[in-house]
Each structure stands twice: as C-alpha cells, then as structure tokens.
Amino acid sequence: MKLLANDGIDPVGKQLLEEAGFFVDTNHIPQEELPEKLQNYDAITVRSATKVRKALIDACPNLKLIGRGGVGVDNIDVEYALERGVAVHNTPAASSASVAELVFAHLFTGVRFLQDANRKMPVDGSSKFNDLKKAYAKGIELRGKTIGILGFGRIGRETAKIAYGLGMEVLAFDVYPSVTELEITLGGGVNVTIPVKYADKDEVIAQSDFISLHVPFSEEPVIGERELALMKKGAGLVNCSRGGTVDENALLEALNTGKLSFAGLDVFDNEPTPRTDLLTHPKISLTPHIGASTNEAQERIGVELATLIINHFKTLAQ
C-alpha cells in the first residue's frame, strides 16, 4: 500500500504505518499536480491545506482512503467520496486540548492588551514607558466572567473545562446538545463534575462577556452584524474554528466603534492571504491557523490517523 501524507504526518504515525507494511511518502505535491501524481497512491492524508474535491476523486479511481489529520473535513467532498467507495477518516479528538488552550491564549492576550503592547514596546518602550503603562492599565480578569461557547463538541467542551478551572461561568449552545455534565481533572488527580448550562444562541451571545466559536464551516457567517449587535458592549470574540464563520467587515466595524473590546483570530476568510486591515488592527490578537499545531496534538493525530488507516485496510483484507 502506498500512502501520500501530502500535508505531513508525525514521525510516530509514519513509523506505525511503515511497520504495518505501508510505503509512506511525505513529499508535498502541489494541488494542481495531484490529479496526475495521486494516481500512484492508494491513500492520501491531508490537513487543511490540500483539497480533495470531486474532480480529484474522479481523476484517481485507484484511491481507496482519504485521511484528515484534524477535526474538520471542509476540504474534502466526503459524501461524494463515500459514494465512490472511498473511505474517509478524521481525528476529531486528538487536537481538542491544543485548540482550547489557544482560545485562552487569545483571551488572556485580549484582556491585557498584549497584542498591542508586544508591537509597541520594542518601538516605544524605552522612550514612552510610562505612557504605555498608562495605556494598558485597564485590563480585566477572566475569573468571574461568563464565556459563551457556540458549538459544544469536543473542542467546545475542552474550552469549557479550562474556563471552569479559571473560575469562569460557562453558557453553551449546540444545535444537538448531547452532554449534560463535564468531568474535569484538576491538579493532584482531583476530579470534579460540573453540570453544563445551555441557552439558545441569541441568549448565549447577549449574556456572555466573551464568545468562543467552535462550529463547522457554514455558507453564511455564524457571527454577523446582527449577532455582534446583540453582544455586550466591550465584549471579546475568539474564533479558532473556521474562516468564514465571522463576518470580517462587521467585526472590524464593531472593534472600531468600541462595541467589542478585542477579537482573537486563528482563522480567516482568505487564507493564506488574510486582509491587511485585520492583520494590523491594534485590537486583534492573531495566529496563523495553528490551533492544532502543538507537538503533543500532532503526535496524537499521527497515531490516531495511522491506527485508523491500518485498521481499515486490515478489515478489508479479512
């Protein structure tokens, strides 16, 4: 079996596959060359960069499996692949903790103005220290505040666990709520169980001091002008889910008018070329789509994906 790990795979996952008899190629093939070159492989694994659409699936009748190292499968035409007999596997649990921690990296950054301070201190810190000290003197604490979590899947639940650990209140919204309580492991091996408080989408938006998005891709923004108008004045918004789920024009307007105090963005509409007015805005904390990009998450993703692939072909062979 020949497998193309077109967006890379953790060495541990690669080793597991090779020990199971797979040939694993980690050399990246540009998207436009895939219709021709992917015909030399039985399977492909991708992250978010490579797209596996209908045309590519049609061009590669040899393809037996598509693996997605991560949660979302927006870059794969899943239903069409399944119709053509091509298996699709993803790793929904492996990166949850890493994404949730990044949410709080953005939250801590926003409430203490770190995104702006880190830009200005190298330039003005030695000459305008006291001015900057005054400018950033009105930070707030997360403890005691309410975080609204839109989308209460694995990542949303991990985000809630951190929030509870910080002493925050949590309001959750999910189209299909399935969890009524969370078990949280604290330091020293102490376990606590906390009931989840749900509300409808508008209630969550209106009652929360901060909103964190954990929703799948949608054709229309989940947070647009109407939703931003519902938010508390001075609230913060973090999007570590999908580009396109926040109306970027409406977000900039809310930041410029003071409706929102800050935003934290890991994803953008026009990746890999986000708009400049977002990238330079003093009230936006920025990361380049790195929610799952921790060493620990990548190892878990590699191991989980390798195990799924091995088990799939083992089952077919039986």
Q: What are phi and psi of 237, to 5 degrees?
A: -130, 130
| Residue tagged active-site, from 83, 141, 225, 271 | 271
| Residue tagged active-site, from 227, 289, 300, 304 | 289
CA distance 1 to 62: 11
289 is catalytic: yes
Pairing relationship of beta strands 2-5 and 23-25 according to DSSP bridges: parallel
Neighbouring C-beta atoms of residue 201, cutoff 10 Å? 15
Coil vs helix vs strand at 184: strand
| Residue tagged active-site, from 242, 248, 300, 304 | 242
Q: What type of residue sits at position 23?
A: F
300: tokens are: 């878990």
CA distance 153 to 46: 22
Neighbouring C-beta atoms of residue 269, cutoff 10 Å? 17
Does 216 sit behind a cis peptide bond, omega within 30 degrees of 0 on the bond before it?
no
The answer to whether 90 and 71 have CB atoms below 8 angstroms apart is: yes
> Sheet of 23-25: strands edge to edge?
23-25, 2-5, 43-46, 65-68, 87-90
DSSP letter (8 states) at residue 6 = T
Q: 88, 74, 73: which is closest to 43 by C-alpha?
A: 88
CA distance 125 to 119: 10
The answer to whether 243 and 287 have CB atoms below 8 angstroms apart is: no
186: tokens are: 């604290």
Q: 194, 250, 197: which is closest to 220 by C-alpha?
A: 250
Give me the active site residues, please.
Answer: 242, 271, 289
